Structure 1
Amino acid sequence: MSIIIKPIITEKVTKEGELSNRFGFVVNKKANKIQIKNAVEAAYGVSVVGVNTMNVRPDRSTKYTKSGLIHGKTNAIKKAIVQVKEGETIDFYNNVQ
């Protein structure tokens, strides 16, 4: 089971990373905080202090078109906000791993 799916790179999360060493990830829905902590430490070589998780519900939408109503929804995801030890950082833009 792959724990970390992808990092979250938005203005809000990037600012949190610069100010308070907190980074966001989209993670597997069945992963718990301990598994997320171990996966981030193994993948990025940092010490994780804390992990906060949240389940994001799917957004539903309705579009009115020529052919009638079209209903759709996005996928539900699980986000993890990981706090890294002071002085350490995660660089998402560097290709070297």
Structure 2
Amino acid sequence: MKLSQVLIKPILTEKANAQQEKLRRYAFKVDRKANKLEIKKAIEEFYGVSVVDVNTSVVPGKNKARYTKAGFIQGMKGAYKKALVTVGEGESIDLYSNI
């Protein structure tokens, strides 16, 4: 798998931001087929930091429903793979630089 296809986007939530500040741990949405070694190589190449640890989990999809003028609409929010990446001591990733 190409390294440019591994990372989809960073996850920017309150919980993820708290982990960035305290534990130097960053959350990313990654391709479902990517393994830990590919994720580590992609982070090191794109952000120029040394990766200490990579934890992955598959977040299950959720059912979503909404009432509209057209009636009751049901759908599904898809499952995705999440990677928690811990970077080396004294290093950080600037996720807001491209905004």
Same fold per TM (> 0.5)? yes
One-letter identity of the residue aligned with 1:21: R
**Counterpart in the other structure of 2:43:** 40
Question: CA RMSD of the aligned region, Å?
Answer: 1.4
Unaligned runs of 5+ in 1: none
| Gap regions ≥5 residues in structure 2 | none
Note if 1:12 corresponds to 2:15: yes
Residues 1-51 of structure 1, C-alpha deviations (whole Å, 9 max, x = no match)? 400000111111111111110000000000000000000000000000000
Structure 1 residues 68 and 94, CA gap change in structure 2 (3 angstroms): closer
Aligned length: 95
- The answer as to 2:49 corresponding to 1:53 is no
Cα deviation for residue 67 of structure 1 reads 4.6
Greater alpha carbon shift after TM alignment, 68-77 vs 3-12: 68-77
Return the offset for 1:69: 3.5
TM-score for both structures, normalised by structure 1: 0.89
